[in-house]
Amino acid sequence: MTQDDVAEAAPLVELRDVSKYYGNIRALEGVSLEVHPGEITCVLGDNGAGKSTLIKIIAGLHQQSSGSFRIEGKETKLANPREALDRGIATVYQDLAVVPLMPVWRNFFLGSEPTNGRGPFRRMDVDMMRRTTHSELLRMGIDLRDVDQPIGTLSGGERQCVAIARAVYFGAKVLVLDEPTAALGVKQSGVVLKYVAAARDAGLGVVLITHNPHHAYLVGDRFVLLKRGVMAGSHLKSEIGLDELTRQMAGGSELEQLSHELERAPVPDHLGGHER
């Protein structure tokens, strides 16, 4: 096998035994995951599990303290988020960076506006941005009739979908989604998961960060469970069912121990208990 074949077979993103320390505080230790084209890797964990730290490393906000971070088979340490974008990694955060009063098309191209004309006659190509926004959203299955409406008038789920379509349009190979359904109801969550699957079907490698095993299992191909900064499990979908994934996510043996502790103890006779 040639070096090119090895690179071609390599995951889009691969983390091996990645750790992150802030002074004496351990945020992550020994975490591994793979992201492949046309697959969704779900990272599950409760608050404080280390999901945010993992996002920051993949997105180029922070560098790992130790371990291997490879992009398409090449060892790397990203210097900043712009370098991550240049390498094809787009991150959509839960608190979307949108300008609510600006139209949808303007937010779609925010920071990357195409222009026409030269010198003092250079202007933003508004017609092209309107057409492209509408067609790209439609290609992802989002039929938004009026791209001139302020993006703030869209539902939370629709705003997430616009951000996903934007990442696809601007050539992302890897899409990192930070709790995209956390603040949404059942119907809107379903809408977002549909477009997450559409990004996967477009050939992107998706990292879905979530604390909801039901949402993860609907779309996920790989599952990485984090607990207090360390890996609590790593599974392919073929290796684990929803019930077991939920049990591991919820703590498994810890939950059983807690249920025993919470069982109502018998009240002694001298405190008003009665024998049966």
How many whole angstroms separate alpha carbon 222 and alpha carbon 91?
A: 19
H/E run at residue 28 = strand 25-35
Residue 274 has pLDDT above 60, yes or no: no
Give the CA distances from residue 272 to residues 130, 182, 262, 269, 275, in Å, rounded to whole numbers and listed in that order: 75, 46, 20, 5, 10
Of the listed ranges 79-93, 105-119, 232-246, the least confidently predicted one is 105-119
pLDDT at position 3? 46
Longest dimension (CA), the chain: 94
CB 197 within 8 A of CB 213: no
Residue with tokens 């979307």: 96
Does 37 have pLDDT greater than 90? yes
Q: What is the average per-residue pLDDT within 102-111?
A: 91
Distance, in Å, from the CA atom of 213 to the CA atom of 248, rounded to the nearest integer, reads 10
Measure the CA angle with vertex 245, ends 240 and 246; round to 5°.
150
Query: Average per-residue pLDDT in the chain?
Result: 86
Say what the pLDDT of residue 70 is. 95
Domain boundaries, the chain: 37-62+79-258
Residue 181 is given by DSSP the state: T
Residue 132 vs residue 143, higher pLDDT: 132
109: left (phi over 0), alpha (psi -120 to 50) or beta: alpha
* pLDDT tens sequence across 182-220: 888 888 889 899 999 999 998 999 999 999 999 999 999
Q: Please tell me the class of the 37-62+79-258 domain.
A: alpha beta
Q: How confident is the model at residue 254 (pLDDT cuts 50, 70, 90)?
A: low
Instruction: Give yes or no for residue 135 having a pLDDT over 50.
Output: yes
Tell me, what amino acid is at 167?
A: A
Q: Is the pLDDT of residue 104 over 80?
A: yes
* The pLDDT of residue 8: 55
- In the numeric block, which tokens belong to residue 42? 């779900």
CB 133 within 8 A of CB 145: no
pLDDT for 251 equals 66
E strand or H helix at 104: helix 104-108
CA distance 195 to 165: 8
pLDDT grade for 252, boundaries at 50, 70 and 90: low
Phi, psi of 257 (to 5 degrees): -65, -40
pLDDT one-digit tens code per residue, 6-31? 445 689 999 999 999 998 889 999 99
